[in-house]
Amino acid sequence: MIDAVAAAAPVGDVRRPDGGRALAVLGVALAAAVVVAAGAGAVSIAPGDVLAVLARRAGLDLGEVSARDEAIVWSIRLPRVVLAAVVGASLGIAGAALQGVVRNPLADPGLVGVSSGAALGAVVFLVLGDPLVAAAPALATWLLPAAAFAGGVVTTSIAVALARVDGRTSAINLILGGVAVTAIAAALMGLCIFVANDAQLRSITFWSLGSLGAATWSLVGVVAAFAAIALVGLPALAPALDRLLLGEVEARHLGVDVERVSRRVIVAGALAVGAGVAACGVIGFVGLLVPHLMRGWLGPAHATLLPASALGGALLLVLADLGARTAAAPAELPVGILTALAGAPVLLVLVRRGAAREVAP
């Protein structure tokens, strides 16, 4: 990939902002976005009052807030905003890590089949999972994300395996493999919908609307537990992912177990994305757009790129969801429409720049 720095200064030195400071900026921006988003809506609540609610929950006193406002912020809006942040962070970091492991900037969770596999896993569970729920009702909230995770691992493994030729990952094969597994997943989902009964059909429809509107604190907890594995585990792979950019053989020469790294990235990515898909349907392009922007800004080193993509993904999805529920209020746009509108042009630019031809980002 020709990133913005290299393109702007073909013979000059590489200049990069300080990684720690950039992460701090993103973190502050995310916190501000969360507060603003939690205050915005049909009932507008000032940022100071949102902070007061948060402070009271933490046992501090920052002033009085009406019980109604507190209920709106704490019980209705914050779960949704935090869910958006967690899902966005998962998509961002999973995209950045997948792109590192296949050395291609086109590896978005939506394009390589993680999302469609997760969606298939979720639908199969909604249709065939009743006996499981009956057997273990306490685990019901966990079973849907687990099914989505399983689906995501299977489809992504297939797409990545199809794309690898002679130890190299061919971008065109990766995209075609993603298209193929997505098509198969869509067909199988159609089959599931065909055999579903009315009650199952209703839950599939409700789920596939793909909104963050179903957020509750317990749902946030389940999704965050899955996401935490990716958010904590993937940054540990940063040195290996950096070396992978040199090439698979070269990374091996430097002591990187390429197979193990790519397996871990696929599993962690599918866990995080699968949980997000289970909670709010397929949200595309966050995993493509955010790492691309972060790489242009901060450079390719994964120690900064992975956390920056997580924070950037969280920020983007919080803002996209804010837009989705306020732009056409009182109606609510599906948030995936906004992320696709922002992300699809980036895909076009990347293809145009020839990223699709090369194996390296």
Partner 1 sequence: MTRLVARAVTVRAGERALVDGASLAVAAGEVVALVGPNGAGKSTLLAALAGDRPLDGGEVTFDGRPVTAMPLRELARRRAVLPQRPALAASYSALEVVMLGLVDPVRVGGGDDARRIAARHHLDAVGVGHLAGRAYPTLSGGEQQRVQLARVLAQLGELGGRVLLLDEPTAALDPRHQHAVLARARRAAEDGHAVVVVLHDLSLAARWADRIALLHRGRLVRVGSPEEVLERSLLRAVFEVDLDLIPHPGGRGLCVVSAPLES
* Residue ranges binding partner 1 (CB under 8 A): 1-3, 5-6, 9-14, 103, 242-243, 245-247, 249-250, 252-257, 299-301, 358-361
CA 278 to CA 17: how far, in whole Å?
Answer: 36
**Do 70 and 82 contact (CB within 8 A), yes or no?**
no
Question: What secondary structure does DSSP assign to 194-246, as a single string?
Answer: HH--HHHHHHHHHHHT--GGG--HHHHHHHHHHHHHHHHHGGGGHHHHHHHTT
CA 341 to CA 351: how far, in whole Å?
Answer: 16
Q: Closest by alpha carbon to 302, among 48, 57, 95? A: 95
Helix (H) / strand (E) element for 168: namely: strand 168-169
Q: Which residues contact 57 (CB under 8 A, 6 or more apart)?
A: 74
> Would you say the C-alpha torsion 301, 307, 313, 318 has a positive or negative sign?
negative
Query: What is the dihedral angle through the alpha carbons of 199, 203, 206, 210, rounded to the nearest 10 degrees?
Result: -160
Residue 60 DSSP SS3: coil
Question: What secondary structure does DSSP assign to 122-133, as a single string?
Answer: HHHHHHH-HHHH
Q: Which residues contact 339 (CB under 8 A, 6 or more apart)?
A: 283, 284, 285, 286, 289, 316, 317, 320
**Do 241 and 100 contact (CB within 8 A), yes or no?**
yes
CA 360 to CA 248: how far, in whole Å?
Answer: 11
Q: Closest by alpha carbon to 102, among 87, 115, 112, 116? A: 112
